[in-house]
Structure 1
Amino acid sequence: MIRNATLLLAGTIIGAAATVTLSQMPDLVPGVAHAAVSDTYRQLNLFGDVFERVRSDYVEKPEDSALVEAAVNGMLTSLDPHSSYMNAKEFKDMQVQTRGEFGGLGIEVTMEDGAVKVVSPIDDTPAQKAGIQAGDLIVAIDGDAVQNMNLNQAVEKMRGAVNTPITLQIQRKGVAKPFDVKIVRDVIRIQSVKSRPEGDIGYIRISSFNEQTFDGLKSAIDKLDNEIGRDKIKGYILDLRNNPGGLLDQAVAVGDAFLDKGEIVATRGRHSDQNTRYDARPGDLSDGKPVIVLINGGSASASEIVAGALQDQKRATILGTRSFGKGSVQTIIPLGSNGAIRLTTARYYTPSGRSIQAKGIDPDIQVLQDLPPELKDQVTDTKGEASLKGHLTNEAGGAEGGGSQAYVPPEAKDDKQLQQAIGLLDGKVANSAFPPDPKAVVPN
């Protein structure tokens, strides 16, 4: 779960806090505060001593910037698995992911046998208009052979400024020789929300929470209303399986889309300014129609906020397997030209006051998938947050859990979780957990 922060804001808060602490601290034990500061500086001197010894005596001449980056990242990663340092390039890449748009071609790709394979071109993008097809192999980019690149390098080379040209050499099944395709880059928006009718039921899949997610959800609901008919829709399936999370404000907005009132989530940190409660505003985009949320061991962070809010408010039935269990909030603090740090600053709590940190959300209805023969001997479960070294503990104590089966069949007909959700909304399957009882909502 990511919360954005500016350098100015972070610097102001930190600076003000330091001023208040030092100026208002009563010197009850003379010399104690001074001793603590001196000890801190001694530790910093230790870092300086080690840094200089490595620079002067290491077997090969190290790069100073790489040493500093590694030291800073080591400090942050020692705190918990989700705090880290990002250099300028990594920070820029993170911004692209959360913004949900970039200059590029509009293709989903993977690596196969040393070539970049097109999984699918995205509709209405330069790649699709240029005739790129699913299954095409990209063997060269602007004359540079792809076999000398990893997937990230190839993707980075294909992205670029809007209105700039790029030439891909394509190898296509059934075509004797590779051929060139010239494409002009355009603004590409990452489609984090997809939808389709399942009979009289609206199916909505959210794959991540970026800046475009709520707008995508609203468009999906409008599209389903037109395709099925608003009065004919029996309910909605919100699929959050294998969704790793994203932006806090988008999780709040998605939860709000299905709620008329009540708390969505609360965050609590070390300082009072990190304690925030987010409440739903009047207006349910689904008109109060029944909702079933699908989760599994790959549903984390923002996904768990949405599932937890709709579960606690008895607005939706949660179906699938236990979620990942990431219940912490990270704030992105820019460091000017030096990149940024991702720092865990708070835990989040569902409307009933529970923290799912290292525990996860248990579904109201557990449904396990049938594994195909080729996967029966493979690990298809996630171990969850509790398995990560240095993870934050759950303040409530008790047994930790989180993580579970995360397999989703490629074909809808083989997807037991989806089919059970459809059966419940169609009235062909019955379960005491569906629909939830709104009278059972815990006051908050």
Structure 2
Amino acid sequence: METSKRKKNILFITILSVVGLIGAMALQMIWIYNSYELIRNDLLKVSSEVFEKALREETNLACKEIPEGTEILAGPESDSIPSITYLYEGIQDIGIEMSINRMDSLVEIFLRDKDISNNHYINIIDIKNDTIIKSTSENQADLDDRLNSKIIPIKTDLSQGVQLVLLNPYIYIFKRMGLMLAGTFIIMLIVIVCISYQVRFISRFEKIFQIREDFSYAMIHDMKTPLTSIIMALNFLRSGKLDNRQEMKNKYFDIAENEADHLLTLTNKVLTISKLENHKLEMNKTEVELTPIIEKLTEKFKAKSQKTVNFITDIKAETAYADAEYLEEVISNLIDNSIKYSGESVEIRINTAQDDRYTVLKVHDNGFGISDKDIHLIFRKYERASAVKRNRRKGASGFGLGLNFVDQVVEAHHGKIFVSSIEGEFTEFTIYLPLAEDKNPMQNG
């Protein structure tokens, strides 16, 4: 119930984060669009003002060509007919042509004063028929990326007008928006990364929480079995039923002692891993004889294992520079792992060798093997590669500290450990332990 509720909360937080991200992106897009429209309208206003200024300047230049004493009649100014229209039409009526090319040059000068460098051209338009009478551009392709100013009539009957066409207005607009777009992109990128990290962190937290629950359950289960055996043995011994059966009595003492030793080993392993992870445990490294350790362990596992175990040893390196106690525990864990995850007939090969830099120790078994999908998980704390599959095969129970312990101890020796395996055929662990400094030519050189 608690797990289900926690998963629902995580799902809710994830959905809320995604919705928040989408909402933030939507607001940013609305803000960018509104900014774009504002700058576009401002560009249109400025270009229209510049065009009107250029038209007035061109009209003033044309007025200088009017003979003295010539009168040009003006008319009433309105929203549709500005005063310049009467002047423009009057100048044309007396035979003076206005130069749109000169007007184009004036527009270019005035636009540059406004820091607008877009290409442009000017059209004289037949307003009624919506056709171009004259233009400063030879190419009149129907382009989408252009901005048209309002049409200024040059005939009082509103039959003709002039219009400024600004090309590629987006260059100017996005230039104005450049800093804002860059800032928006960076902010959105940071928000996306933060939300992604948050979702990943929550998911990992859930996984860790689940692993802790599984670990607690498995550890209690593993501790319950030896405790039950100890209590059962002590109850029999206390009952007095075995007082006259010394051999059976000793057997129950051995059971209680072995199970108590198992609990102590389990506890020490958890404490050792904790110290190794926090770098609080120092290795007392010396030249350790490998043959006695390997012989001791092979005899121990042959005697206590309920399976048929055959050991094949090939000792080419007699010593290793290591902490004797922890090295023995490492080899013991690897052998125990091989027996647990093998069939009823187990063959374990233990080889040692030495090169210029390392003592190499290999433990090879003919067990169930490890799948490619699971092989990268086996050194993680609390992980059991293919746990479900092993349970179907009546594999050993446990909570996955053995190989993590091995990995931590090897790392504390500044060594390396590798595993190779084919599922259904074999598993081989290879440990590299650095030689002592006085024996390592790489360090002595």
- TM bracket (short chain): under 0.3
More strand per residue: 1
More helix per residue: 2
Over alpha carbons, which structure has the higher Rg? 2
Q: TM-score, normalised by structure 2?
A: 0.19
Q: TM-score, normalised by structure 1?
A: 0.19
